[in-house]
Amino acid sequence: MERSIEAIKSDIFARNAGEPEFHQAVAEVLDSLQPVIERHPEYFELAIIRRLTEPERQIIFRVPWVDDNGHVQVNRGFRVEFSSALGPYKGGLRFHPSVNLGIVKFLGFEQIFKNALTGMPIGGGKGGSDFDPRGRSEREIMAFCQSFMTELYRHIGEHTDVPAGDIGVGGREIGYMFGQYKRLTNRFEAGVLTGKGMTWGGSLVRPEATGYGTVLFARAMLETRGESLEGKRVTVSGSGNVAIYAIEKAQEFGALVLSASDSSGAIHDPDGIDLDLLKQIKLVERGRIGEYVDRRGGRAAFLEADGSVWNIPTDVALPCATQNELDGDAARALIEHGVRVVAEGANMPCTPEAVELLQADPVALFGPAKAANAGGVATSALEMQQNASRDSWSFEHTEERLSEIMADVHDRCRTTAKEYGDPDNYVLGANIAGFTKVVDAMIAQGVV
């Protein structure tokens, strides 16, 4: 059977040549499946793995728009609708120069299992564009978003495909896209996009949800060893919504958060991150991380672009920036300093070598992104629920639901891993729990 799985992997890699991130995501899941395939040979006989790794639909389109100088610009748009076995496709849109089909497919494949783990009725998808919003004017961003939605609108809907934000796509971009969708369809279909503004169908806690959820998952991991976040040293990478709200929640639990970063470098603040200052620089002024040191003073230090927050001695590491940011050398540094928990806030931020090293360490617990950062999409599903009922929940009620969902995700991963003989292996538990939920639905719905 193992040779057959390896043959399937080889076939997938050949059919999807030049997409290393997608290969990495597929291998990470398939390498966990041997035990479940042995128990359920019907999964193999029904070509479930081949079907699951082939997107139901892949959409690539041209996005022309006019910049402030009157020049026509052309970008490429993507939407990969990967699996609708559990519900409408659900997953974010990423605007970043690195976006290509392989990146979108890796993100969409991960989204299938992440969404399944939440227990919510949502399938998996992802999209975006190679457009870079940095340095663009408000008018240029609006022009791009409107052109992007002029094609995308025909492929989405509250019962079909519900995009959200991701890197480069926040409330501003969602607003411009929703306005264009409404204009084109003549419908105020609030449930077609999530991450909306609070006054027109958005959900409280959605901006905070991914970061909050990552910390809730890390706390649950610590509790399995009788520990808490109180007094723990925490290192965080990134300085977008995920990182900032991970810092906020970790501080609420009494942790000392020491770091943040962006593409220009990183900061180390031994006295603990001044969250109000960080929010002002990154969320309000859209500035660079180095400005924090200039305005903070004290012992805060700037690490150049080749510096790493993972060299800072820490108890809990939360990579919240981007894929493959934490490599083998960084994992070795964390292990040397006795890290207790690594929980992925970004999508696949740890390289395969880093994951292997962290899982082999007898001290560290490793929480994969499809479980640890599921809070964002879970709260998006709660936003869909509120839109469907024309309702609006309080911050406290929504955060309570998020806490319940993240506790369930943690317990589902750990229980599944224990069932297969390795209770501390959250990668095994997350992959098998997500996989079985999706494939059981696929089998019930026939060969479609």
Residues designated catalytic: 126
Cβ-contact 125, 92 below 8 angstroms? no
- 282 belongs to an annotated ligand binding site: no
The percent helix, strand, coil of the chain (3-state, each to 5) is: 50, 15, 35
311-347 burial string, b = 16+ CB within 10 Å, else e? bbebbbbbbbbbbbbbbbebbbbbbebebbbbbbbbb
Cβ-contact 380, 401 below 8 angstroms? no
Structure tokens at 140: 């240029």
Closest CA to 428 of 373, 374, 367: 367
Enter the DSSP assignment of 289. Answer: T
Enter the DSSP assignment of 167. Answer: T
Cβ-contact 315, 339 below 8 angstroms? yes
Question: Do strands 89-95 and 124-129 pair parallel, antiparallel, or not at all (unpaired)?
Answer: parallel
**What's the rounded Cα separation, in Å, for the pair 160 and 413?**
28
Residue type, 294: D
**What's the rounded Cα separation, in Å, for the pair 33 and 50?**
13
411-433 burial string, b = 16+ CB within 10 Å, else e? ebbbebbebbeebbbbbbbbbbb
- 165 belongs to an annotated ligand binding site: yes
Enter the DSSP assignment of 138. Answer: H
Cβ-contact 209, 374 below 8 angstroms? no
Cβ-contact 347, 373 below 8 angstroms? yes
- 111 belongs to an annotated ligand binding site: yes
- 425 belongs to an annotated ligand binding site: no
Backbone phi, then psi, for 80, in 5-degree steps? -105, 110
**What's the rounded Cα separation, in Å, for the pair 158 and 39?**
37
Give me the residues paired with residue 303 across strands: 266
Only one residue has tokens 């079909």, namely 160
Beta strands in 285-372 (DSSP E): 301-303, 316-319, 341-343, 365-367
Closest CA to 375 of 344, 418, 416: 344
To the nearest 10°, report the CA torsion of 10, 19, 260, 341.
-10
- 90 belongs to an annotated ligand binding site: yes
Structure tokens at 393: 């929940």
Backbone phi, then psi, for 296, in 5-degree steps? -80, -45
Which residues contribute to the annotated binding site for NAD(+)?
210, 241
Residues placed in the known binding site for substrate = 90, 111, 114, 165, 380
List, as residue ranges, the binding site: 90, 111, 114, 165, 210, 241, 380
